[in-house]
Amino acid sequence: MENGAESACVDVVRPIAFAPKYMEAKPEAKASDGKFGTFGGVLVPNVLTILGVIMFMRTGWVVGQAGLKSALIILCIANTITLLTSLSLSSIATNLKVEGGGAYFLISRSLGLEVGGSVGLPLFLAQAVSVAFYIIGFTESLHFLFPVVPDRIVSGGVLVVLFVISWIGADLAVKTQYLIMAALGASLLSFFAGYTPAADWRANLAPGYVGGVGFWGVFAIFFPAVTGIMSGVSMSGDLRDPSKSIPRGTIVAVLVTFAIYALQMGWLAFNASREELIGNKLVMERIAIYGPLIFAGLWAATLSSALASLLAAPRTLQALAQDGVMPRMFARGSGPTNEPKLALLFSFGLAGICLLLGKLDLIAPIISMFFLAAYGTVNLAAGLGALAANPSYRPTFRTHWVLSLLGAAGCFFVMLLLNALATIVSAILIFGIFALLKRRQYKTAWGDEWSGIWFSLARFGLLKLAESRQHARGWRPVILVLVGQPRSRLPMVEFATGLEARRGLIFLAHVEVGDWQRLLPLQEQLEKDMDQFISEHRISAVSRSVLADDFEHGVSTLLQTSGVGALEPNTVMIGWSEDALKQAEFVRVVRRVLQLRRNLLIFAEAEVSVGRLKPVIDVWWFVKVNGGFMLTLAHLLVMDQRWRGHEIRLLHVVASELECDEAQGRMAGIIKDLRIEARPEIVISTTPLLETIGRVSEFSAITFIGLNVPAHEHEHPLEPYAATVAALKGNIFLAKNWEDLD
């Protein structure tokens, strides 16, 4: 073989959609700005919404199917979920200064805008569509007395009347609800005054299921009867003292309606036969001492629910618009109480369209899903807030996190129970909105619970990680990238993210050298610039910046202060530069990194475009420790989609063909032991090693070369590699594992 010739045993070789100037801190409203207290603003709307159509037309069926004992168990389970949600709602409401927007406001200020918006927008749609749903329920009930009633004319007229009441203002709407409350109370008094005991009423104590339904099937039909606790919360912007009125009014409403339902079930079981309970939807009208009052109560229930929804929907829309989730025009309010007139018009139009569509049988289950999703998220927010133990989470009404999380689980269980398909549709819509809002990358003027939640999880994980036994097999890349000005070193940052491969952690670091007093005022801006770069390029990284008298001192400081416990940097990445070759300080930095027991990567960017390079990653094997380190990094790179199609070549140089077979087997064994997909290649060459590397890997996309650091400090460790770096056209990593330090 001629000198310099070579042969081989085998073939050789987020976008940001928009970021509105967002929800600047507002001056706090005075307590007197609201007009309504606990009774009129929370208790009455909640009671009127809970005591709805199901109470009049389905409770008898529930008792007939399940029997009184099981019916009371169903009531207890359903009300337990509602009560737990009320307790969670009370905790959040007493931890925040509650403004308009009801459930949306509470969720967004607790779990962040993305979660709040993803639940708040469907909640608004559910409230607006519910207006039409309740009006259609009222219209259909008229058929019991007037079979030929023109549905759409009556429904449209009722919608217009409710719209006028709402347009005049929430004050008139609340006063109207007092009249509705009176009608509802009169109907219940008429029902309980009726006395027609059934001959076999004791038989109604036990279940008597017919029609293929069972306990949970009956539960699914009954559960919507106990929902409605958000009606009072939706009026939060109109309350004198929301933090007191919401807990008191909501919890009292749940307890009062529980008592009413329990008494109603008992009275139905005592006064009607099982056949009548199951077959007669208006059995209450037959039992009542004066039947027409039952119709008055039924109409009051449907109309009050429609009015409550028509009051709630525009306020939710207004809050969404104020936060930039919906168009800003809906944020406009009128008058001293900031009435959401434009949002009310939009809600009215949406309800009108739904009325024209007529049947809402397909929409109704999804409406229930959205309400339950809101309830579940409120429970989740309260549970996580208490569990995270954030010092800022200081509700005056405290609920144990176990109760809140049980409430969340109960809500999601009931969603599946009511309608699994509607649950899936609702979940897809909610997560879709969440993803859209997440891409917008809002910056809010309020804090949420996530920082406390992540802190608690990180604390727990760090303590457990510190307790665990560290082993080489559990090694993960925690890379300190010395980028300086990151925008000029974007390729190096991209490679760092590829090497980290979502299995470790990246610190993007900057060392500012100079006079401490002069630089100190600039440090905060340096950190902001780095954080903005990370956000713009959607990099999973943590920023670090230090001020130092010289570069060596700055790097030493970074290595000793970055990270916590086992999440300290174990690898340092530095960019190659011709100037660095001439600087003694750079040599000292290289040695200091290794002395501090950190791996070292020196990166040199490719000279030519990727399209002109061969899709291979070359790893030149010299010694076991350093070679294994480089091969692991190459394996992490090919897991990234940018380099997924690249082949890894494990290259080793021998001086003669006599060594070829043995070296080939040794390299194959190494690959097998490391369980990395790579192709071993043995290069036979008698030229200097670095010159051989320059020729064989000239057009390889990425080349890993082991770095030799001489023991004598006066010798420059990088000078021998300058010619090789100049010869290679692809990206280069000079790598050194600290355990392989000479």
User: What is the reported pLDDT for 628?
Assistant: 86
CA distance 343 to 331: 8
| Residue, of 141 and 192, whose pLDDT is higher | 192
**pLDDT at residue 585 above 70?**
yes
Domain identity same for 698 and 650: yes
The neighbour count for residue 170, using CB atoms within 10 Å, is 22
DSSP secondary structure string for all residues of 522-571: GHHHHHHHHHHHHHHTT---EEEEEEESSHHHHHHHHHHHSS-GGGS--E
Domain identity same for 620 and 497: no
| Residue, of 497 and 387, whose pLDDT is higher | 497
| Final residue before a domain boundary, out of 562, 586, 601 | 601
Question: What mean pLDDT comes out for the span 337-365?
Answer: 78
| Residue, of 174 and 483, whose pLDDT is higher | 483
**Is 279 within a domain?**
yes
Domain identity same for 503 and 424: no
Structure tokens given for 672: 């097998």
CA distance 517 to 523: 11
**pLDDT at residue 329 above 70?**
yes
**pLDDT at residue 414 above 60?**
yes
| Residue, of 141 and 279, whose pLDDT is higher | 279
Domain identity same for 339 and 399: yes
Cut 0.85: pTM above it: no
CA distance 692 to 108: 61
**Is 2 within a domain?**
no
Strands 731-736 and 700-706: parallel
User: What is the reported pLDDT for 11?
Assistant: 38
CB 448 within 8 Å of CB 473: no
**pLDDT at residue 12 above 60?**
no
Percent of all residues in the chain with a pLDDT value above 90, rounded to a whole number: 24
**Is 449 within a domain?**
no
- In the sheet with 571-575, reading across from the earlier edge strand, the strands are 6-8, 679-685, 647-654, 614-620, 700-706, 731-736, 599-604, 571-575, 478-482, 505-513, 542-548
Question: What mean pLDDT comes out for the span 719-729?
Answer: 90
**pLDDT at residue 111 above 80?**
no
Domain identity same for 112 and 228: yes
**Is 30 within a domain?**
no
Where do we find the tokens 């920082």?
Answer: 451
Question: What mean pLDDT comes out for the span 177-193?
Answer: 90
| Residue, of 615 and 93, whose pLDDT is higher | 615
Domain identity same for 638 and 688: yes
User: What is the reported pLDDT for 160?
Assistant: 93
Q: Cα 232 to chain center, whole Å?
A: 26
CA distance 741 to 598: 10
User: What is the reported pLDDT for 284?
Assistant: 93
CA distance 107 to 393: 14
CB 52 within 8 Å of CB 257: no
Domain count, the chain: 3
Structure tokens given for 371: 């309400």
pLDDT band, residue 54 (cuts 50/70/90): confident
Question: What mean pLDDT comes out for the span 237-241?
Answer: 75
How many alpha carbons fall within 13 Å on the CB side of residue 141?
25
CA distance 100 to 109: 12
**Is 450 within a domain?**
no
User: What is the reported pLDDT for 1?
Assistant: 42
Structure tokens given for 344: 């009310």
**pLDDT at residue 117 above 90?**
no
183: domain CATH number is 1.20.1740.10
**pLDDT at residue 723 above 60?**
yes
Question: What mean pLDDT comes out for the span 691-696?
Answer: 93
**pLDDT at residue 283 above 50?**
yes
CA distance 75 to 84: 14
CA distance 392 to 390: 5
CB burial of residue 392 (10 Å; 0-12, 13-18, 19+): exposed
CB 237 within 8 Å of CB 101: yes
Which range (74-78, 201-205, 346-350, 361-365) has the least confidence?
361-365
**Is 207 within a domain?**
yes
CB 549 within 8 Å of CB 519: no
Structure tokens given for 300: 């009051």
User: What is the reported pLDDT for 361?
Assistant: 53
Question: What mean pLDDT comes out for the span 305-321?
Answer: 84
CA distance 534 to 710: 36
Question: What tens digit of pLDDT does each residue of 524-567 get?
Answer: 788 888 888 888 887 888 888 888 888 888 888 888 888 776 67
CA distance 585 to 600: 16
CB 298 within 8 Å of CB 59: no
Strands 6-8 and 679-685: antiparallel
CA distance 295 to 293: 5
Backbone phi, psi, residue 567, to 5°: -100, 25
pLDDT band, residue 191 (cuts 50/70/90): very high
User: What is the reported pLDDT for 684?
Assistant: 92
Least Cα distance to 634 among 620, 624, 623, 652 occurs for 620
Which range (110-119, 288-297, 397-406, 684-693) has the least confidence?
110-119
Domain identity same for 432 and 483: no
Question: What tens digit of pLDDT does each residue of 465-487 get?
Answer: 655 555 455 578 889 998 877 88
User: What is the reported pLDDT for 23?
Assistant: 32
Work out the mean pLDDT of the chain and round it to a whole number: 81
Domain identity same for 481 and 412: no
**pLDDT at residue 234 above 70?**
no
User: What is the reported pLDDT for 101?
Assistant: 66
User: Could you list the residue range(s) of the whole structural domain that residue 364 is in?
Assistant: 36-440
Question: What mean pLDDT comes out for the span 444-467?
Answer: 57
CA distances, 178 to each of 108, 174, 227, 476 (Å): 32, 7, 20, 65
CB 680 within 8 Å of CB 619: no
Domain identity same for 304 and 373: yes
Listed in sequence order, the DSSP H helices in 441-512 are 450-467, 490-500
Question: What mean pLDDT comes out for the span 222-245?
Answer: 76
Domain identity same for 624 and 564: no
Domain identity same for 404 and 495: no
User: What is the reported pLDDT for 24?
Assistant: 35
CA distance 375 to 81: 9
**Is 302 within a domain?**
yes
Least Cα distance to 220 among 422, 424, 428, 429 occurs for 422
671: domain CATH number is 3.40.50.620
DSSP 8-state class, residue 30: P
Which range (144-153, 213-222, 358-367, 631-640) has the least confidence?
358-367
**Is 26 within a domain?**
no
| Final residue before a domain boundary, out of 552, 577, 601 | 601
Least Cα distance to 137 among 369, 343, 373, 295 occurs for 295
**pLDDT at residue 131 above 90?**
no
Percent of all residues in the chain with a pLDDT value above 70, rounded to a whole number: 82
pLDDT band, residue 604 (cuts 50/70/90): very high
Three-state DSSP state, 615:
strand
CA distance 631 to 704: 8
Structure tokens given for 338: 């900031």
- What is the 3 state secondary structure string of 665-680? HHHHHHHHHHCCCCEE
User: What is the reported pLDDT for 446?
Assistant: 45
pLDDT band, residue 21 (cuts 50/70/90): very low
Domain identity same for 415 and 481: no
| Final residue before a domain boundary, out of 570, 601, 632 | 601
